[in-house]
Every structure is written in structure tokens, then in C-alpha cells.
Structure 1
């Protein structure tokens, strides 16, 4: 099981970080043995891709894997001000335009290659195709397949927090991989119903991201100021997270350690992708990932009605 670094925070998700801190975060991931990095144009209007590319520039190219996404073109704008509507804190130099057409996909990959300073993308994903499924599946995915045949990208697939859309995608297209965000976590598991079995049957790899549900499962003692789905956590979910944390504590482990272990527990999952905005967070997550909770935790959580 691989641990990957989710790079949304490199695009100033929730708050600004410096270029130096972003580079140190990637360096800490490398030092921890992480070799898979997931980014997207959406993350900070290209800032995440630029910072990731700079941090990896002197690393051996064949030793790491980068995934990025298509579906949001970045179009220059002179509106000025800051772009905060999507949760990222960056100057509003561009606006996001949803585009899953063949030309849009090819242009997106070309722009990402430039920002990342790479000559190929290892994994290219349709980003949040829900609401645009017809053009994404019928035009966007074939465009990615063309780029794969040309050697510009490696594996191709889709990434979303909508498990139903990804299940349909696996059935109707021929992806190599899907990235599911926040739908197979210690807190909720809708991807287990259809998506994970469909991927296992089709031989499609699953990258499991958002495994802390945007932050609610990230601390030993969850509270109502932590984000959930990039917004405010409902009180019922905060209470559930606290109940899970209490069982974890009784078994000598912690909520984030259990969240990381659970995220990789299904055989269909090939990598667990976790975000971080500092070297300390990377080091902590890598250490927890390498120290799974005791086996007795899982039946205890099930017995308490906190896991199926």
C-alpha cells in the first residue's frame, strides 16, 4: 500500500503558505519515502502545480509519480483581488472554466506540463465530471486515451467525491484508475457499496483521497471548528467522530491513525492520498501510516455501531 501526498494545500487551501514551506513539505514527503504526488490546476489557480514542479525538479524523474487533472481551464482575467470562492487563497489572476471537450483536455494537459516543468504526466484524471458527464465520458475520456497512446500521459481515469458517478464511469469507459475523495473513510463508506467492487472486478486501481474528510478526522480530539467537505461539519458528524476517537483512545491508538489505516483496508485501494501543508504534518501522517492500530479496534468500532 502506497502513501501519497495530496497537494491541494500547496495551492493555499484554507490559508496562505510560503513557497519555502511548500517546498519543505514536498521535501519531507520525499524523505518519508513518499513517491506519489497528486495535484490539479484547480488547486490555487495553478499554484500547486508550479510549486510541486519546482520541488521535484532535481529529483530523479523515474522515481516518482505525479497525477494531475483536467476539466477546469485557467483563463486569464484582469479582475484583480483575491480568489477565495473555492477555498484557496490566491490572487485572482485567472478564472476557472469547466471544459471537458477534446480541445479543452489537450490544452489543459499542455498547460499542466508547462506549470509542472515535466515532459509527461504519469496519471491524468477527469476532475469532478459530475454535472458534465456526457461530454466528459464521450469526449474528455477519449481525449485522455489519445494522449496516453501518444505517450504524453500514462494512466488515465477520473477523480470525484461522487461515488455514483465514478461507478458509472468504470462501467461505461475503460479507465486505468479512479480517485475517490472522502467516500471511503472511517466516517462514511458509500464507495464500498458499488464503486470498490466495480473497480475490483474491472481491474481498475483506486486512489483513496480525502481520508480525513477535509479535516474532521485529522486530530486526536475532533471539534466543531474542523472542516468537513471544505465547510462546517454537521453536529451529528462531529459527535460521531468524537465517539470513534474515544474508542481509538481506549485501544491505544488515535483517530487519525485509524482513519489512515481504514482508508487502505479495502483490497481495491492501491494508494492512500493525504494532504499536508507543513513538513510536520507529513512526518506525522507517514509515521501513523506505518503504525497501524491493533486489530481489536475494528470489531470494537463495529460493536459500538460506529462501523458497518
Structure 2
């Protein structure tokens, strides 16, 4: 692809290098990138379509699933198209405003995604621990309000990131060894004191994600305690089965996110391309797996999806 050398020449722009050290393998890397991205888009749009069309699925659990699908689409779309432009056409340039916008959007959607997982864990807690009150505690209107709160929280936490970056001058060397504008990679381009930027990014990762993980763990701890108190042992597998889907989704998202965040800040001994590949997996694997996991594990959704796919 050397003939397609369309690298941005504007000196005020950033240059995204993609995955340094693996330039010769870009065409091969782009195959799983594009495949996982397309599968994720198809799966999540299918979930949105089926839930939107079927009145019987207009329930809190499926509305939360739609929120998760929207965040998955936003997460992958904010990174993968630009990465593919680098891999296929060597289009590495990105304006400063475009880079800061991507930084904000990435972190806002990630925080929103985390909040949706917390709400889904609470949904399962109420469904198992207070099944008779489920319909009154979790109504569609309340889910919509929780979604709005999660959106406002995501914006408030992510907005300082580009604002802090824009307050200081960038160095002459504007080459970012990454395929998207990851916050810490952009921070390293600053010529001033980056202590505030580094601290806020780390605090945001641990306070927001850490708090969300604690709430999820608390919810599932209470769920397990409630299940163990059920006298009928035959009911244990059925109760646990309602949680396994959410646990699988949560683990795939949180493990990749925490690994990417920690290695970016503390993994100096890890090769740069390993940092970048694991960071990319966070934007590819969960959005692709989530609709598949829910499609397989949720009987009602599986039947509705089958109804439309067979009809086609």
C-alpha cells in the first residue's frame, strides 16, 4: 500500500502512526479488524432492530441491552474506521480538534458503557432478590432516567480531558505512536507540566471504573447470597443462569479495559505494539461478543432474532 501515501502534511496536525513495528503486516491486521467490526455492527444493529420492532421486548432488561448496543457501536466506530484508513491508505493525519474530539468521545462512551453494566447488574439484583417488586422498581421510565443520568455523568467526567489538553502547547514533534488519540498518548505530546493531566486520567479510571466495579461486585455478591438461601437446590442453576450472561459481558469489557489502562501507564517493559493491540481489542471484542452472548443466552431475544433472520 506504499503507493497510497496520503499522510496529512499540515504541521499543526497530529500524525497517528498506527501500530509501530508492525507496518509490514497492516494488510493482514486489517482483516480481523474489519471482520470483528462488521460482525459487531451487524449484531448490535440487529439487537436494536429486533427490540424496536417487538412490543413484547419493550421491557427494562431489553432497553438496557439497547443502551449497551449503542455504546458498543459508539466505542468501535470511534476507533476502527480511522485505524482502517491508516492500515489501507496510510491516512495518518488528524487535526488537533479532531484528536481532542476523539479523546472526549472515546472516554465519554466508555464511562457510559460502564454505567450501563452497573445498571444491568442492579436489574439482575432486583429480578432475583425482589422479583415481586421488579415491575414497580424498574419501569421503562425509570430505566430511561437512569440512562440520562449515565449520559450526563459520562459527559461531566470526560469533558475535562480535552479541556485540560487544550490549555497547554503541544510540542513540535506531533507523532502519536498509536492508531487513535488515546488520552495518555496525547498527554505525552504536551510541552508543559502534565501532572494534572496524568493525575486526572488515572483518578478517572480508578474512581469511575473502580466504583462501578465495586457496585457490580456488590450486586452479584447479594445475588449469590440470595441464591444460596433458596431452599430448592433445583432453583439454583436457573437463578444463576440469569446472571451468567451479564457476568460474561462484564468480564470481557472490564478485563480488557483495565489491562489497557494499566499497561499504558505502568507497563514500560511491555512492547509498544502489545499496548496498542490490547487497547484495540477493547474496542473490538466486547462490541462483537455482547450481541452474540445475549443472543445465545437470552431465550426470548434468540427466538425473536430467529424469527426475523428466518423470514429474510
Q: Which has the higher strand share?
A: 1
Give me the TM-score of the superposition, normalised by structure 1.
Answer: 0.26
Give the greater-gyration-radius structure (CA).
2
* Larger fraction in helix: 2
Q: Relative contact order (C-alpha < 8 Å, sep 6+): which is higher?
A: 2
